[in-house]
Amino acid sequence: MMQKAWLYVAATSFFELVWIFGFNTASEWWHWIPIVAFIFVDFHFLTKACAALPTGTVYAIFAAVGTIGTALMDVLFFGQTLSGGKLFFIAVLVAGVIGLKLADGRDEKTQTEGGN
């Protein structure tokens, strides 16, 4: 079950980037129809992930992937640049997500050993 939950985290992170890309490219009213559909799919996977994993960890990953992915999307697709400051804070986000995952792993191990 835990592996499936991580697939939900990956799916929600992917679909978040899809609809954010849509926000940047929509130019007609009907472009918003698939964007809204992707938002619903995204939140479906987000809910499934939060049902099986700690919500704080899921949201941290979701937010980090969205932030990092959006910054990279801006560079790759929309001609923006990455400054040293942006790169530094992207690194801080990645370190924070890794730290949360490590802390959750320790918490789960402590709960299992402690009989909670």
pLDDT tens by residue, 16-60: 999 999 999 999 999 999 999 999 999 999 999 999 988 888 888
User: Which tokens sit at 29?
Assistant: 């009213």
What is the reported pLDDT for 99?
85
pLDDT digits (tens, 9 = 90+) for 1-22: 668 999 999 999 999 999 999 9
What is the reported pLDDT for 93?
85
What are the backbone dihedrals phi and psi of residue 83, each rounded to the nearest 5 degrees, phi first? -85, 170
**Highest-confidence segment of 18-27, 62-71, 103-112:** 18-27
For the entire predicted model, the pTM comes to 0.76
What is the reported pLDDT for 41?
97
Three-class secondary structure assignment of the chain: CHHHHHHHHHHHHHHHHHHHHHHHHCCCHHHHHHHHHHHHHHHHHHHHHHHHCCHHHHHHHHHHHHHHHHHHHHHHHHCCCCCHHHHHHHHHHHHHHHHHHHHHHHHHHHHHHHCC
Does position 64 have pLDDT exceeding 90, yes or no? no
What is the reported pLDDT for 107?
62
